[in-house]
Structures are given as structure tokens and as C-alpha cells.
């Protein structure tokens, strides 16, 4: 997924290396982790991102892997896809059943997504924090989506001022969600961030900054043997947002609250995915988060820019 030479990062902030006691999560946190994984899964379904004008119900018609979302009154406000450089794809939706506004980003599917994944050098991110450096491809991809997404969120906030804002995504989508949440929090918004199988997005300074914004909760979910959260490597100066919630069960196994350790704190924590090195290339593990998260992928990975 990622190919590169070592980065020309600024000297990274001092890493926080932790070995903390593992604890099972509470049922309420579990319910939220499961729900927002399904909103992330729905970003892989073309019909949701295709609804540029909004109004359609959020569905997963091929994969049937978002039943909690489909049971709610969740409707698309704005779908976006097929951007020129990076094919950033996702949707803004409201869930009237739970008084939520959701921004969901799709993970890698197209050639331009994979090029984004490989655009590895660090890039200054002054819109997040002074002196911060982030993965260039992720930052460019978010900036392609930003104008339309922010307009849709502003309109949604005006119509539903009491709704809580959630940003979610799997894989590449999780990286974009983290960057988007950081910028929007800087503008004063309170946002809860849920990511699944998210790669590291930048150096210790930017990761610690996002961890400590205090404008909503961070829920970075990883899975046993998933190699993607270990990329880009620690040796290149990249660090993670905290805390982590680590799913210990294998692929295809139903997840319960007792199967998730968290919160695991620190930008490097060997109690979770970072210390799980028995399998280094189990990409099936990357696709299993409560269910087959990318099952709605239509396989149109080589579509031309229209």
C-alpha cells in the first residue's frame, strides 16, 4: 500500500512510548464503535457518494453490512467522488434518529487512491498547527474535498444546530477523517473522530496536537494483525493519534466489548496494534472491523476521470 524512501521529516516530537494495562471497553463505547464503522462502510457503496444533491437514504445494498445505519432515518446531504487528483470519495449525511451529522470518507479503491497512499513525503500543514508535518497525499486529498464538504456541513448545521458532528473513515478514509477533524476543530467545531485501520498521518507534533485538541473525542480503532496502522513506519518519524481501541479477535469473528482493549494512550503504545508483529502482511485483517468494512466496494478501481 505504501512505497517510499525515508522521509525528510522535521525532527519528530518526543514519542510517548507506553505499556499500559489492557482493559475491555464499556458497552456504550462499543455501540458507538460498531455504529460508526457501519457509516464508514457505507462510504464504499457508490450510491451514497453518487448522491451529489442529497436526499437519498444511506444504504449498503450490495454488502448489507450497515444494518444499524439502514435502520435509522439517515439521509445523504452531499455525496462527493472522482476528484481530479486523488479521487477523494465520501458523503455528508444526517441521522435524524440519533441527531447526528456524519462525514464519512471511503478507503482506497481506485488507482488515484493508491497513488495518494504512495505520496509519502511529509508536507507542512499550517491549517492544523504551526510546524506540523503530515503525509502529503492525505493532505492534498482532503484539500480537494474541503470546499464542498465544508459548505455541506455549514448548511446542515444551520438546519440542524443541535446535531452532534461525527467524522469517520476506514484506511485512507480514516487518515482523511483525522485531518478534516483537526482543521474543523480549529475553527471551533466540536467533532468526535472515529477511524478504522487508519495509517499514521504525520509526525509526533501533529499527532499529539490532534490528540490534545479537546474539541471532541478520538476513537482510533485497530485490529489484530492489520498491517496498515503500522504504516508509515515509526523509523520514519510517524506517530499515531491517541487513544487506540484494539480489536483482538481474528478475521471473520464477531466482536464483543470484551474483545476490544482500550483506551490505549500515547502516540506509540505496544499494547495494541503497534506491538502486534506476529503477522506483517495480513491484509484480510485490514478489511475486518466488526464486519467486512469494504464489502460494498464495486471493484471499479481503474475508472477514468470523467
DSSP string over 113-156: HHHHHH--SEEE-TTT-TT-EEEHHHHHHHHHHHHHHHHHHHHH
**C-alpha span between 276 and 270 (Å, rounded):** 8
User: Which among 108, 171, 242, 294 is annotated as catalytic?
Assistant: 171
User: Which among 95, 226, 261, 276 is annotated as catalytic?
Assistant: 226
Is 223 labeled as catalytic in the residue annotation? no
> Which pairing describes strands 244-247 and 218-223: parallel, antiparallel, or unpaired?
parallel
Q: Are 229 and 200 in contact (CB under 8 A)?
A: yes
> Which pairing describes strands 218-223 and 191-196: parallel, antiparallel, or unpaired?
parallel
User: Which among 95, 242, 286, 294 is annotated as catalytic?
Assistant: 286
Is 294 labeled as catalytic in the residue annotation? no
Q: Are 260 and 246 in contact (CB under 8 A)?
A: yes
Is 226 labeled as catalytic in the residue annotation? yes
Tally helices (H) and strands (E) across the chain.
Answer: 8, 16
Q: Where in the sequence numbering do the catalytic residues fall? A: 171, 226, 286
Amino acid at each position: 500500500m505504501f512505497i517510499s524512501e525515508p522521509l525528510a521529516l522535521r525532527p519528530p516530537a518526543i514519542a510517548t512510548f507506553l505499556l499500559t494495562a489492557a482493559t475491555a471497553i464499556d458497552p456504550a463505547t462499543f455501540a458507538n464503535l460498531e455504529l460508526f464503522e457501519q457509516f464508514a462502510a457505507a462510504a464504499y457503496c457508490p450510491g451514497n457518494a453518487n448522491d451529489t444533491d442529497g436526499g437519498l437514504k444511506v444504504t449498503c445494498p450490495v454488502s448489507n453490512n450497515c444494518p444499524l445505519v439502514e435502520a435509522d432515518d439517515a439521509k445523504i446531504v452531499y455525496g462527493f467522488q472522482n476528484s481530479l487528483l486523488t479521487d477523494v470519495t465520501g458523503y455528508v449525511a444526517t441521522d435524524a434518529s440519533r441527531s447526528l451529522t456524519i462525514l464519512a470518507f471511503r478507503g482506497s479503491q481506485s488507482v488515484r487512491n493508491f497513488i495518494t497512499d504512495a505520496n509519502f513525503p511529509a508536507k507542512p500543514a499550517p491549517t492544523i498547527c504551526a510546524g506540523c508535518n503530515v503525509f502529503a497525499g492525505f493532505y492534498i486529498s482532503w484539500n480537494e474535498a474541503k470546499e464542498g464538504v465544508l459548505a455541506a456541513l455549514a448548511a446542515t448545521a444551520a438546519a440542524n444546530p443541535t446535531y452532534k458532528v461525527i467524522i469517520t473513515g476506514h484506511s485512507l478514509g480514516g487518515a482523511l477523517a483525522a485531518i478534516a477533524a483537526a482543521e474543523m476543530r480549529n475553527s471551533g467545531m466540536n467533532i468526535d473522530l472515529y477511524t478504522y485501520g487508519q495509517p499514521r498521518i504525520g509526525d509526533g507534533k501533529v499527532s499529539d496536537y490532534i490528540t490534545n485538541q479537546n474539541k471532541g473525542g478520538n476513537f482510533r480503532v485497530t485490529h489484530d494483525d492489520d498491517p496498515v496502522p503500522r504504516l508509515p513506519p515509526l523509523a520514519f518519524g510517524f506517530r499515531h493519534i491517541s487513544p487506540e481501541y484494539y480489536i483482538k479477535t481474528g478475521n471473520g469473528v464477531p466482536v464483543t466489548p470484551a474483545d476490544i482493549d482500550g483506551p490505549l494512550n500515547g502516540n506509540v503504545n505496544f499494547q495494541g496494534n503497534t506491538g502486534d508483529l506476529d503477522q506483517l502482511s495480513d491484509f484480510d485483517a485490514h478489511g475486518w472491523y466488526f464486519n467486512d468494512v469494504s464489502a460494498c466496494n464495486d471493484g471499479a478501481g481503474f475508472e477514468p476521470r470523467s
